[in-house]
Homo-oligomer: A and B are copies of this chain.
Amino acid sequence: MLKKSPLAPKVFPSLPNIKGVRLATASCDIKTSKRDDVLLVNLDPGSTAAGVFTKSKLAAESVHWSKGVLKRGNPRAIIVNSGNANAFTGDSGKKSVRDLASSTSKVVGCHPKQVFVAQTGVIGEEFLAKKVTEKLPNIIKNMNSDWKSAAKAICTTDTFIKGVGTKVKVNNKSVLINGIAKGSGMIAPNMATMLAFIFTDAAIPSTILQSLLSEVNELTFNSITVDSDTSTNDLVLLCASGRANNLVKKSRAVSQFDSFQDGLHSVMQDLSHQIVKDGEGATKFVEVNVSGAKNYTIAKGFAFSVANSPLVKTAIFGEDANWGRLVMALGKCGQELNAKKITISIGGVEVAKNGTAVFDYNERAVSKHMKGQNIILEISIGEDAGGATVWTCDLTSGYIAINADYRT
């Protein structure tokens, strides 16, 4: 791994076993022979799943395959490899995904279409499924609940291993949620990709599970950006083994899962923030909050325009409270704006208001805030109720160094 990000959490959390979910990792020499690069997850019969996928129009074959598995239902396994994205690899890439699923289904004892496939690494390089399939009979013999090894096996250019867990009550039963993720950006630094896998022992019907995931995903993984580049392989899967026996048979009410959704939100927000904190070359974690817009979508558009602006991000790296660049980023969005209604705060200090600078703002407080690791930009654009928060990191010389050297 590269030098650890200065924004990395101190330790990987201790994650409990989740009944109905078994893990195993192995080294299959996909890119190098030095590390585990394959993760197999085995799910109990009766598990449900939900998923969200990259919107790339050149999505990798594994993405198309996994969408089919989700549609069919009754998932039994997930096979993940790092080191090769198997994207833009034509018919041979398609065949290798089928081979992976088919071989996994044999060792697990299910139909190939019950096996999710997820892949991450360089685009356009041929993927040899055989490297993985020939080791599967051994891998299945070593199932465990070592979440840290699982989280490590899916990493590519990550500088730290990403995981988090929580416990909530659903219908008075304790329910666990564990999540692991990889990526130095949801938005595809290095054409490696963002993957996240979340597991729970809760029993949740798949249609409800999907709506919970989609809703929370919009506020978490779909609210982060490192560099605005969308991957061909992004995928978030949420699998529920049902072993917590929390279902009250007579009720199909979604509201019984409110606390689950809260827990899911905290797990997914934490994982998505970990990805931003591992954004390539990142030295600062940045929250962009836009309020007063007509609706959530418009607010999020403005927030992302700020969070994706190279000029805003380099100013933050330079610890420069250059709010004129925020004005630029708002203005280029295409949505109507009234300058006189715009207020901009940095670290809680108003620096611009009513369409002009606050000439006597506390420069010392703002300068101190800019030198910190957590930067908060708050922008109000009017009196309407629409608001959104997105997260990003700064754009640094480290980003250039990492990405100019990637394949060589």
Where the two chains meet, the residues of A that have a C-beta atom closer than 8 Å to any C-beta of B are 55-59, 85, 87-93, 122-126, 188-191, 227-232, 308-311, 314-315, 317-318, 320, 322-325, 327-337, 339-340, 352, 354-357, 359, 395-397, 399-401, 403-408
Contacts and interface: CB of A to CB of B under 8 A. Distances in A.
Given A309-B229, A311-B229, A400 B397 contact: yes
B191 A58 contact: no
Contacts of A352: 88, 124
Nearest 6 interchain pairs by C-beta? A123-B324, A318-B404, A58-B331, A90-B356, A314-B403, A56-B331
A230 B321 CA distance: 19
Given A310-B399, A315-B403, A320-B404, 20 more contacts: A58-B328, A58-B339, A85-B324, A88-B327, A88-B356, A91-B356, A92-B356, A123-B325, A125-B324, A126-B357, A188-B328, A190-B311, A232-B331, A310-B310, A314-B403, A318-B404, A318-B405, A320-B407, A397-B397, A399-B400
Given A88-B356, A401-B397, A403-B314, A229 B324 contact: no
A400 B406 contact: no
A228 B310 contact: yes
A194 to B, nearest CB: 13
29 contacts: A55-B332, A55-B334, A57-B330, A57-B331, A57-B334, A58-B327, A58-B328, A87-B327, A88-B324, A88-B355, A90-B339, A191-B311, A191-B322, A191-B325, A227-B310, A228-B310, A229-B310, A230-B332, A232-B331, A314-B404, A315-B403, A317-B400, A317-B404, A318-B405, A318-B406, A320-B406, A322-B407, A396-B400, A399-B400
A330 B191 CA distance: 13
Nearest to A122: B324
Which of A90, A330, A354 has the most chain B CB atoms closer than 10 A to its own CB?
Answer: A90
A357 B404 contact: no
Contacts of A124: 323-324, 327, 352, 356-357
B357 A400 contact: no
Residue of A56, A308, A400 with highest tally of chain B CB at under 10 A = A400
Q: Which one of A89, A323, A328, A406 has the highest number of Cβ atoms from chain B below 10 Å of its Cβ?
A: A328
A311 B359 CA distance: 38
- Interface SS of A by simple majority: loop
B396 A327 contact: no
Contacts of A355: 88, 90
B318 A403 contact: yes
B230 A328 contact: yes
A190 B325 CA distance: 8
Given A57-B333, A231-B328, A337-B58, A311 B189 contact: yes
Contacts of A356: 88-93, 124
Contacts of A57: 330-337
A310 B56 contact: no
A340 B94 CA distance: 13
A85 B322 CA distance: 14
